[in-house]
A and B are shown apart, each in its own frame.
Chain A
């Protein structure tokens, strides 16, 4: 029992899990019992899955000591590539989507190569590649439009083996990550994120590790772009922009620390769910207010303002819980002697 408690307290995802718990507790009275319906769970998961995927990508990259500001643009690029190939060139869907996923990986590889081999700060490189990739997306598909056959977006919003399909997608993504991190590369990535010099001194080829991390990040970003395509069922070159901020916010809310190599995928998934639950809570809270006072008129802009402020408070509180977490780790060390 004590072991379980210690495992929870020392888990890197603790801030994310506790924030998610708080959000769920607040959500239940505000939304009512309909929160527990499978349909509601499915719609929340369908809307959040693109963010969860891109948050996983961001976690992998941040764990290896980088950051990716181009992920939103890459998602849009993947989205418009898939749409353009099927709509304008009549490619079969599996081929088109595979090419779109490959495009996402290619962007990740380019970022990684420039960062690792030309040795530029990751933040500035991905800032520049954000411009390049969003330019490419505009070039491929300038105006929003296009369609996805129902055979694809139907199952995405539907159910499979009792649970929503998207839950299985997330489980699959997590399993792929656990498979990858069983290889030495998974440990190397955290080592490089924790201190590149020490990693190098221990005989790790840091350049390759960084390249690998960005390639994996590109893969998950590509999956996120495809999920977004299935969700919106159309192509839009600007659709990915908000995801850059949201993915980094989800990673920080999930307890992952910059430049330490400390964090987890699970925390980031909890952080993403927290972000969409906050939007849910604010939406229903405003709805309830309007229902309670029929004459009341509230501008919808307030909803955005309130949820953004809650996110900033969440970002600040993640640091507090992290302090708590590190303290228990130190205490544990002291107890062990």
Chain B
């Protein structure tokens, strides 16, 4: 019924075709919801709309966006998920502060360490998922506890050190009141990710694999290699997200970024990447991250405690899922 209506109307006028395109574009709808949430926040408290507050919300959303980058890849390649992203992010943050330890010269080495660690973790994940056929959920959940032990061993329980001054500056200072440097880093990341997904051979093969693994394999795409690369990218991006989290937070603990897992998956799903994979874009996940951060900060503004925030968070997530991710009735 819905499809028929869409066909008829899109044939008739250009206006309705644009309208339906936008309505079926989940990321765009989420952008509208985000603007609506900003306005709701402004109605509750006018200071919510001040430039500084918008800047801090965008900064927080940028952090969540970094965490969602690898998750977008893993979900879009079809049926995957990376629960170990949160622990990997914490490990990245710990490596960052311990290696840099207030020395500007060691920024690049620390990043290289993080990328290598993330790639190795991703490779092990991919090995378990592709070769031993452990479900991604289980493999990455088990990996998360392994990474926690690695964090404890590497830091001896209490990580010491601080990020380099330049990195702390990027993580905390602002170019304009509503434009923290972190947001600029996030914009650069978005451009790089869009380039990777839409303008490279890897990106073509990536979406082909997500759409239909067998068809992609028969067309000569090395499916296993693409999936392995995706999990390695996920590990590396999670590690880099930890790097920027260390820049933002400066004080780092074991498993400090673990609470990012649930929101990162949520951001990807409400950003329009279906769980079956095959389509999706990082820009959608960024919009999802903005929506989630807005919801969270409105709840904090209403002085809701952690228990209440968790309950609302879950209800909102189910509501958004019910609006966009319903499976077709079994009759069809």
A residues apposed to B, CB below 8 Å: 67, 114, 118-121, 123-125, 127-139, 142, 196-197, 200, 206, 244-245, 248-249, 252, 258, 299, 301-302, 304-305, 308-309, 311-312, 315-316, 319-320
Choose one: A67, A138, A200, A319; the contact of B306 (CB below 8 Å).
A138
- Give the Cβ gap from A109 to chain B, nearest Cβ, in Å: 15
Cα–Cα, bound, A308→B141 (Å): 11
Pick the interface stretch among B63-71, B88-96, B244-252, B322-330: B322-330
Are B149 and A319 in contact, CB atoms less than 8 angstroms apart? no
Main DSSP-derived SS at the B contact region: helix
Are A206 and B314 in contact, CB atoms less than 8 angstroms apart? no
Choose one: B128, B144, B149, B328; the contact of A304 (CB below 8 Å).
B149
Which residues of B have CB within 8 Å of A129? Answer: 314, 318
Choose one: A119, A125, A139, A308; the contact of B146 (CB below 8 Å).
A308
Are A312 and B307 in contact, CB atoms less than 8 angstroms apart? no
Chain A proximity mask over B299-324: 1 for CB below 8 Å, otherwise 0 = 00000011111111111011001100
Known contacts A127-B262, A315-B132, A319-B132; decide if A135 and B149 are in contact (CB<8 Å): no
Are A308 and B322 in contact, CB atoms less than 8 angstroms apart? no
Known contacts A138-B306, A309-B146; decide if A200 and B330 are in contact (CB<8 Å): yes
- Bin the interface of chain B by size: 35 or more
Choose one: A123, A142, A311; the contact of B137 (CB below 8 Å).
A123
User: Is B150 in contact with chain A by the CB < 8 A criterion?
Assistant: yes
B residues apposed to A, CB below 8 Å: 81, 128, 131-135, 137-139, 141-146, 148-150, 152-153, 156-157, 262, 265-266, 269, 275, 305-315, 317-318, 321-322, 325-331
Most buried by A among B143, B275, B311, B328: B311
Residue of chain A at shortest CB distance from B320:
A128
Are B311 and A119 in contact, CB atoms less than 8 angstroms apart? no
Which residues of A have CB within 8 Å of B307? Answer: 135-139, 142
Choose one: A67, A127, A136, A312; the contact of B265 (CB below 8 Å).
A127
Are A120 and B145 in contact, CB atoms less than 8 angstroms apart? no
Cα–Cα, bound, A309→B145 (Å): 9
Interface CB pairs A-B, < 8 A, 26: A119-B326, A120-B321, A120-B325, A124-B265, A128-B266, A129-B314, A130-B262, A131-B310, A132-B313, A132-B315, A135-B314, A136-B307, A138-B306, A142-B307, A196-B330, A200-B330, A245-B144, A248-B138, A249-B138, A249-B142, A301-B157, A304-B148, A308-B146, A308-B149, A309-B146, A316-B128
Are B308 and A312 in contact, CB atoms less than 8 angstroms apart? no
